[in-house]
Amino acid sequence: MTPARPKLAGVVGWPVAHSLSPLIHTIWAARAGIGGYYVPIAIPPGFDEFARAMDSLIKLGFQGVNITLPHKEHALRYAAGASDAARKAQAANMLTFRSEGPFAENSDIEGFSNVLKECFGPTRQNGSALILGAGGAARGVAMAIKEYGFSEIYIANRTREKAQAMASEFELTLVKWEERNDALAHIDLLVNTTNLGMLGKPPLDIKTEHVPRQAVVADIVYAPLETKLLEAARKRGRQTANGLLMLMHQAAPGFRTWFGGAALVDAELHKALVKELARRGAE
């Protein structure tokens, strides 16, 4: 009897070597006893480069790929069909090679929804949140927060026009970047979607002491695992959610779709990723 053909999937980006997604999928595949490989694939910037690579992956029998920078918009353009969420986010981080054509999705929204459920419970009817940043990541986060049920959502971004555009599109309240600290007193959730606080970038300048005691402080940055923002919030007794939580949750829909197994986000997976980050830091 010929053994079943291993399932193939991966993550495409430029650069892509830093991605933790291969480790996440490898752990899930091993747990489920699924024969499959999830590999990092470096594709230089540009739609034509992206499209040629996707054509090849389809021929090679890949089930699908996750997409990271700078190809999230290319994925949407390349796809024959797309989910409403991916269209609304104007970016896709999942492409599934269906027989009727490539289908684009955005699992960042589901990813952040699950972070919210872990922090606040299954649903919420009110409350307010402040989103810092108005880049690609902020769009998914804003959609998840809105869908989850927060009634007042503020947004602040260094470049005001970008925050303004998101505020009109998603019905958010615009806060000036210089006045971000003034908006903290009544929020239940603060989310950093900028790259401030990331290794090699300046820290985010924010007064966590103004954040109410019961509020959650979340960061999508995961290198370092505990950003200065999260450290300050934790030391003041606020609940925190790190970037790995979002990363693990956004990976789950791809695994279920391409490998067909359970994709459990748990402490053991988190521990393995923390260990890998520590290993890389030590290199």
**Active-site residue, selected from the candidate residues 59, 72, 117, 176:** 72
Interface mask toward ligand ATR for 187-226; x: CB under 6 A: ------xxxx-----x------------------------
Per CB under 6 A, does 164 bind ligand ATR? no
Active site annotation includes 271: no
Q: Which of 111, 133, 243, 253 binds ligand ATR (CB under 6 A)?
A: 133
Per CB under 6 A, does 136 bind ligand ATR? yes
Contacts of 11 by beta carbon, 8 Å cutoff, 6+ apart:
19, 21, 22, 38, 39, 40, 41, 65, 66, 67, 68
* Integer Cα distance of 260 and 138 in angstroms: 29
Contacts of 1 by beta carbon, 8 Å cutoff, 6+ apart:
none
Q: Which of 137, 211, 215, 252 binds ligand ATR (CB under 6 A)?
A: 137
Residue number, 205 or 268, with CB nearest to ligand ATR: 205
Contacts of 281 by beta carbon, 8 Å cutoff, 6+ apart:
none
| Buried-exposed string 219-246: b where 16+ CB fall within 10 A, e elsewhere | bbbbbbbbbbbbebbeeeebebbbbbbb
Cβ 201 to ligand ATR, closest distance in Å?
A: 7
* Integer Cα distance of 37 and 133 in angstroms: 34
Residue number, 202 or 281, with CB nearest to ligand ATR: 202
Cβ 137 to ligand ATR, closest distance in Å?
A: 4
Per CB under 6 A, does 157 bind ligand ATR? yes
Residue number, 138 or 145, with CB nearest to ligand ATR: 138
Catalytic residue list: 72
